[in-house]
Amino acid sequence: METCAGLRVGNALLLCQLALPAEAALSEMDYLDSLPVVLSASRLSQPVNEAPAAVTVIDQDMIRASGFRDIPDLLRLVPGFSVAYTRNNTWGVGYHGVVDAFSRRFQVLVDGRSIYSAAFGAVQWQELPLSVDDIERIEVVRGPNAATFGANAFLAVINIITKEAVQVPGTFASVQYGEHGMSGLSVRHGGGTGDLNYRLTLSAQNRDRFDNDPFAGSPLRLFEETRTYLLNGRADYRVSASDEVSAQFGLAVGDWQAGYLHPSEPFAPLEPRQQDVNNAYVQFKFRRVLSVDEEWSLQFYHSRHENDAPSSLDGFGLTIIGDQDAMQTRTSLELQANTRLAPTLRMAWGAELRRETVKSPLYFDTDDTLQGVQGRVNANLEWRIRPNLLLQGGAMLEHHYYSGFDVSPRIAMNYDFAPGHTLRLNVSQAYRTPTFLEQDGQYIYRHTDGSSFFVFALTPNDLRSERIRSHEIGYVGHYRPWQLQVDAKLFHDKVDDHIGSTTVAGVIQPQNSGGLALRGGDLQVTWQPTQAFRLTAQYARVFISTSPGIDLVDSQVKRSVPRESSSMLARYDLGHGWTASAGVYHSGRMYWLNGGESTPAFTRVDARLARRWVWLGREVEAAVVGQNLGDDYSEFRQENIFSRRVYGSLGFSW
């Protein structure tokens, strides 16, 4: 049985039936032909037209049709997102502007486990112990969602949901090979006995982002070749008719060449040419389902990320140490419960206790481990006032080790003004807490005798959390005769206490620099007139205005978003096992903050042609993917040239 956001279709259908008036009860075929059901907006299972915020769902069909093999690329399918590969094996991802190399203003989760780095305000996309082939779906909440996921669910939430063990019985193997050093191998096996099901995945991925010298006439170059290996597993055991225990683990190790040498950066020789990364986690969850409306779960996970990047430089008679080593950990215990308080009233509530640590002598100028503990409680209520009117409210109360107590409330109203047409009004508040580096960073290069050689950055230790107040008008329409779904929103967001940076006597210093306002609109359209053809299209238009304080510190913030961006993905089943798909991705001119540059507008065209057949009892799929079939374009920096590239893949299932 297929799953939807972690719920089986039958249970999700029953939830929808109970939430609607009796005369509007749906059959299973109606449900499968209707709007997607999501969990990420409020932790309550809801069709997207009843969610308190705009949600985009990237399903397996879209993932396969796109031809993308790196997770950040998939976010090009979401209106308002900007995506670029930066350097040092990192990705810059942003939503509605203020984008930089660290993806620091939204929350990212994998099966409820946060992968946002509290140390550096980054997401280590490239070293996740996760294969694209194991993703069931990605739910993206387009807007602040701190009422559900707390601090750092600031501009958006990305919730990656992986396949349950029961969904992938048998063995699957896939190999990819192509230009620009792209190659990969993935093997997954799933099995089970009785009430126990399991899956195990092993994957190896190679990349070389830049194969040409970007500096004409210079021996200097970018070092970007990577080899990353991952192993992850999941086991689900049904203890009884109501109880289930699941366990997951993952390990990713990388042998990376990474460094940037440029004449304008005098201390670039200290950048490491080699990085060894190690990312591991364990996760356990107990879930008790008493009825469709009554369930609770207890989840524990521990994650550990280590980066070993040695570097040194002999000069002035002494050795300068520039090791960019860092170790981060997170330990979390979370309780979540859903209940129906009355026939027209549902509630989701929960609590979490989390401990985070980081150790990095270079970035914090100490051998000590920095640590912090935060606690949070939250609740979301859904009240069906009338069959066509839904009122929702929620809030998160949390205590953070830097910012103290914060409250992130939200109130939303969903009104069905006609069958299949919903208007949504949403007002919310969210916070982004300072990272360890922003609050306690002391980025100092020292000689081996301990004396200071160069002070790169110092922090003031008194930063306030960024705060956003968001106002949104949304519309979700389902035009059944045309098999057309429309999701649109207009927004106006105001950010206070924006954390920027200034340079004093050559030393970078973070500071709260004022406010900014973001306004504009998103549009998402899905059209599937036949089973064979599907088209999704996205468009966003965003404007940023700033206060004078930001202009003095981050003068390029207003340019940190393309005025217009759009994407389109079409898939067509040609018959006899053949499938063709094409994607078009457009971004206007923009400026990437924090180490990036101004990049011109570009339009990128990708295409994929695949065929499936059965050979010796095994299902086989062969595909060829062409990326950027048009002109070369720059991303993040002018010298980061993304040129045409082609790769092939071959997969077996048995």
pLDDT at 638: 84
The parent domain of residue 121 ranges over: 35-653
5 in any annotated domain: no
413 in any annotated domain: yes
Let me know how long the chain is: 654
User: Residue 291: which pLDDT band, with cuts at 50, 70 and 90?
Assistant: very high
144 in any annotated domain: yes
208 in any annotated domain: yes
Lowest mean pLDDT among 5-19, 73-87, 461-475, 512-526: 5-19
State the DSSP string of 301-365. EEEEEEEE---EEEETTEEEE----EEEEEEEEEEEEEEEEETTEEEEEEEEEEEEEEE-HHHHS
Q: Tell whether the model's pLDDT for residue 30 goes beyond 70.
A: no
Q: What average pLDDT does this structure show over 27-48?
A: 75
| Cα–Cα distance measured from residue 318 to residue 313, given in angstroms and rounded to the nearest whole number | 8
User: Residue 86: which pLDDT band, with cuts at 50, 70 and 90?
Assistant: confident
Describe the chain by its helix, strand, coil percentages, rounded to 5: 10, 60, 30
Q: Tell whether the model's pLDDT for residue 579 goes beyond 90.
A: yes
Tokens of 451: 């004396």
pLDDT at 20: 37
Q: Hey, is 140 helix, strand or coil? A: strand
CA-nearest of 84, 77, 82 to 106 is: 82
User: Residue 190: which pLDDT band, with cuts at 50, 70 and 90?
Assistant: very high
Lowest mean pLDDT among 46-50, 476-480, 636-640: 636-640
User: Residue 445: which pLDDT band, with cuts at 50, 70 and 90?
Assistant: confident
409 in any annotated domain: yes
Tokens of 474: 């949304």
User: Residue 4: which pLDDT band, with cuts at 50, 70 and 90?
Assistant: very low
Alpha-carbon distances, residue 283 vs 31, 138, 214, 231, 302 (angstroms): 32, 19, 42, 14, 7
Asked if 23 contacts 13 with a C-beta cutoff of 8 angstroms, the reply is no
Q: Tell whether the model's pLDDT for residue 1 goes beyond 80.
A: no
| Cα–Cα distance measured from residue 324 to residue 271, given in angstroms and rounded to the nearest whole number | 8
**pLDDT over 90 for what percent of the chain?**
69
Rounded to a whole number of angstroms, the distance between the first and last alpha carbons of the chain is: 19
pLDDT at 258: 66
Q: What average pLDDT does this structure show over 64-83?
A: 96
| Cα–Cα distance measured from residue 383 to residue 344, given in angstroms and rounded to the nearest whole number | 6
| Cα–Cα distance measured from residue 476 to residue 486, given in angstroms and rounded to the nearest whole number | 6
55-70 pLDDT, tens per residue? 999 999 999 999 999 9
453-508 pLDDT, tens per residue? 888 888 877 899 999 999 999 999 999 999 999 999 999 999 999 988 888 787 88
18 in any annotated domain: no
Which residues lie closer than 8 Å to 202 by C-beta, 6 or more apart? 186, 187, 188, 229, 230, 231
CA-nearest of 63, 140, 134 to 95 is: 140
pLDDT at 28: 34
Q: Tell whether the model's pLDDT for residue 17 goes beyond 50.
A: no
pLDDT at 551: 65
Q: Tell whether the model's pLDDT for residue 19 goes beyond 50.
A: no
pLDDT at 222: 62
pLDDT at 434: 94
CA-nearest of 608, 653, 652, 605 to 633 is: 605
pLDDT at 394: 96
Residue predicted with more confidence, 267 or 314: 314
Q: What is the DSSP letter of 456?
A: E
Q: Tell whether the model's pLDDT for residue 603 goes beyond 70.
A: yes
237 in any annotated domain: yes
CA angle, residues 122, 258, 279, in degrees to nearest 5: 50
pLDDT at 270: 67
Q: Count of domains in the chain?
A: 1
Q: What average pLDDT does this structure show over 555-581?
A: 94
6 in any annotated domain: no
User: Residue 602: which pLDDT band, with cuts at 50, 70 and 90?
Assistant: very high
**pLDDT, the chain, mean:** 88
Which CATH number belongs to the domain containing residue 501 in this structure?
2.40.170.20
Q: Tell whether the model's pLDDT for residue 553 goes beyond 70.
A: no
Alpha-carbon distances, residue 312 vs 40, 274, 321, 326, 648 (angstroms): 45, 12, 5, 16, 40
- Residues 207-230 as b/e (b if ≥16 CB within 10 A, e otherwise) read bbbbeeebeeeeeebbbbbbbbeb
Instruction: Fill in the amino acid letter for 567.
Output: S
pLDDT at 264: 52
pLDDT at 223: 65
